[in-house]
Amino acid sequence: MSRFLNVSVLLVCFALAFLTTSTRAQTTTSEEALSERRVSYRMNVQLDPEAKTVSGTQRLTWRNPDSVPVDELQFHLYLNAFKNNNSTFMKESGGMHRGNAAKDDNPWGGINISSMRIADDSGDFQPGIPSPPNFDLTDRIQFIQPDDGNTEDETVISVSLPQSVAPGETVALDIVFESQLPEIVARTGWKIADTGNPFFFVGQWFPKIAVYEIPGQRYVPLDAEKGVWNAHQFHANSEFYADFGTYDVTMTVPEDYVLGASGVREEESTVDGMKTLRYLADDVHDFAWTASPDYLSYEQQWRHVSIRALIRPAHEGQAQRHIDAAITALERYDEWVGAYPYTTLTVVDGVGGSNGMEYPTLITAGTAYGLPEWIRPLELVTIHEFGHQYFYGLLASNEFEEAWLDEGMNSYIETRIMDDAYGEGSVMEIGGLKVGDIAVQRLAYVKNDPSKGALYTRSWEYTMGDYSKSSYSKPATVMNTLERYWGWDMQKTFLRTYYDTWRFNHPTTRDLQQVAEEVSGEDLDWFFNQFVYGTAVVDYSVESISNSRQEDDSYSSSVRIRRQSDGVFPVSIQIRYEDGSLEEVEWTGKEQWKDFQFKGETRVAEAFVDPEFNVLLDINRLNNRKVIPTEASNAFARRAQLRTAAFLQKMFFVLGGIL
């Protein structure tokens, strides 16, 4: 009987374990871990809408990936950027971000750590260092300023450990903290909505461990004696960088609030007017959430992805536009880049400066009341922010140091999706005026001094105005030009190989170039040195056409093409003769100018550099073409055509600035 009871108990335990495993929310399409999962967070927090605080506890575990012991941890306290006017973010931004500024009398926020100690119980992990009860690390916290030496900036901390974490071992910390949410200026905090109700977007809100880069990872030399912490202060132009792991987050909010968060909802309960929700997220490097009593929730399934749109009441008529745009992005990313491995996607119609932001499986888009369907900022922002699930989320490049790998590559795919899905007038289409996304991005690059701002630049080192151009519009134009150089099929192979090779592994600019060279079989130093590491500007023009009649009644013709700037790019030159026949020649584009000679029965009437407009980096299309008129009426018509083209280009410059 005793043996029978023991076996029965064992079977029940196995059954319970199976049920627990099988009923746990499926956060990804894989039963196995997709990333290294160097970190894990288990948090239990509560929102106080009156005090505008989020407070609670955090169990953090971190595994040492190095081959040597680590005796220090570093953390980001991003919310401290909004602590006062003396933070580096506030000094650099002047208190304004994307046109948003605080208006409340007390707009400040920050993170206060009241306790940090080594965990005194093993829980669901085995600690790698001794865990004496109540061993307090709070007094070991020091603010550091690795970027600018601003001693009043408190967005990065260092914590020395009493004993090093051995290679491959794990340290666990229990942290008690309170986050005072700021009035929303940049991405995170609170705002009073047009309904009069409070709106909360809770991003970068908890003590977040930095990335420890081991020898051979990114730019740490393979022969380095040990790894280094990569932690930067929160700058006006910088975004984020973190390691992959797991999140188990329980949030308590007022019962009438609607909550959305990264990951998958696992549990929900209500007690005494307060609602508690538990969310799980695996193989991600951040966690954000939002809460408001105003949200209207709309849901739709796309393949394995449960899409949820949280829409403000004034915009309920546009809920389906948000969902449709998300599906448009999901379909094309799946086809062109790679599979979306997560099972959820939440699209948030936020307030003010919370819009236009990305977090794992949760993005903010926003819209305006009565937005007509012939103008598509809603679709553009939704598609753009979804794209960050790949370049910010799954590939997780360092946005502090190489922002273009995220924002720029994402902006490129955004242009391809917008113009593919919505046609020639993808951004705006009214009457006969059609403005596409590729054109808008190109014009934004051209009109903002294209000779300044290399793509490969640390984000806070750009001069005023160059960050946006060099992180968004220029890389989009660079990648669209590369696509036209080697063709869409090669470009898709490049994108898919880059994604398959580097997802969950923090790639660099060097890694992206290596993939491009592997798939193309070409040394691309000439391209990357000019347009990624350098600031070369492309501008080719037709300088002159001359025709002289020969004794045999044939014509000898000369066409001079000039390279106006320092950028070099191979181009095609189309020659049209008076009889309408065409001839095309190829030029490396290297010489300062080059004379092309032609001989035939008719004169050269027109020369056109890059007639198919493959070199989108060429900053002036109006000088690419020259015509020799054969009669006055034709000359007049041609001048009128060129004047019209000049007018349209100027108009697109203006539209580029608006959009």
- The CA-atom distances, in angstroms, between 372 and each of 317, 339, 367 are 11, 32, 11
Taking each helix axis as running N to C, give the angle between helix 437-446 and helix 409-422, from 0 to 180 degrees, rounded to the nearest 10: 140
Mean pLDDT on 471-481: 98
Among 120-134, 451-465, 498-512, 557-571, the least confident range? 120-134
pLDDT of 126 > 70? The answer is no
Residue 629: band (very low, low, confident or very high) from pLDDT cuts 50, 70, 90: confident
pLDDT one-digit tens code per residue, 35-90: 999 999 999 999 999 999 999 999 999 999 999 999 999 999 999 999 999 999 99
Give which of 382, 356, 373, 474 is closest to 428, Cα–Cα: 373
Quote the CA–CA distance of 12 and 399 in Å, as a whole number. Answer: 49
What average pLDDT is seen over the chain? 92
pLDDT of 175 > 70? The answer is yes
Query: Coil, strand, or helix at residue 574?
Result: strand
Quote the CA–CA distance of 658 and 32 in Å, as a whole number. Answer: 46
The pLDDT of residue 138 is 95
> For 329, phi and psi rounded to 5 degrees?
-70, -45
pLDDT one-digit tens code per residue, 336-394: 999 999 999 999 999 999 999 999 999 999 999 999 999 999 999 999 999 999 999 99
What share of the chain has pLDDT > 70, as a percent?
Answer: 90
> How many residues comprise the chain?
659
C-beta separation of 392 from 360 below 8 A:
no
* CATH node for 403-531: 1.10.390.10
pLDDT of 653 > 70? The answer is no
Q: Which fold has domain 36-256?
A: Immunoglobulin-like (2.60.40)
Give which of 216, 275, 209 is closest to 243, Cα–Cα: 209
What share of the chain has pLDDT > 90, as a percent?
Answer: 87
- Quick one: how far is CA 1 from the chain centroid? 63
The pLDDT of residue 297 is 98
Residue 15: band (very low, low, confident or very high) from pLDDT cuts 50, 70, 90: very low
Quote the CA–CA distance of 260 and 266 in Å, as a whole number. Answer: 12
The pLDDT of residue 630 is 63
Query: Coil, strand, or helix at residue 181?
Result: coil
Residue 464: band (very low, low, confident or very high) from pLDDT cuts 50, 70, 90: confident
DSSP one-letter code for 609: E
The reply to whether 295-394 and 403-531 are identical in fold is: yes
Query: Coil, strand, or helix at residue 628?
Result: coil
Quote the CA–CA distance of 592 and 387 in Å, as a whole number. Answer: 40
Domain boundaries, the chain: 36-256, 295-394, 403-531, 542-612
Mean pLDDT on 200-226: 98
pLDDT of 281 > 60? The answer is yes
Bridge partner residues of 546 (DSSP): 558
The pLDDT of residue 658 is 35
Mean pLDDT on 473-487: 98
Query: Coil, strand, or helix at residue 106?
Result: coil
C-beta separation of 209 from 73 below 8 A:
yes
Give which of 536, 420, 408 is closest to 477, Cα–Cα: 408
The pLDDT of residue 639 is 54
Quote the CA–CA distance of 391 and 67 in Å, as a whole number. Answer: 29
User: Which class does domain 295-394 fall in?
Assistant: mainly alpha
Gyration radius of the chain over CA positions? 29
Give which of 211, 214, 336 is closest to 286, Cα–Cα: 211
The pLDDT of residue 10 is 35
pLDDT one-digit tens code per residue, 144-157: 999 999 999 999 99
Give CB contacts under 8 A, 24+ apart, made by 90-96.
91/150, 92/235, 92/236, 92/237, 92/460, 93/185, 93/186, 93/236, 95/185, 96/185
The pLDDT of residue 116 is 95
Give which of 289, 302, 257 is closest to 360, Cα–Cα: 289
Residue 135: band (very low, low, confident or very high) from pLDDT cuts 50, 70, 90: confident
Both tokens of residue 144?
């550091």
The pLDDT of residue 465 is 85
Both tokens of residue 272?
């005494």
The pLDDT of residue 125 is 42
- The CA-atom distances, in angstroms, between 160 and each of 71, 149, 171, 222, 575 are 6, 20, 12, 25, 71
Quote the CA–CA distance of 620 and 504 in Å, as a whole number. Answer: 40
The pLDDT of residue 652 is 44
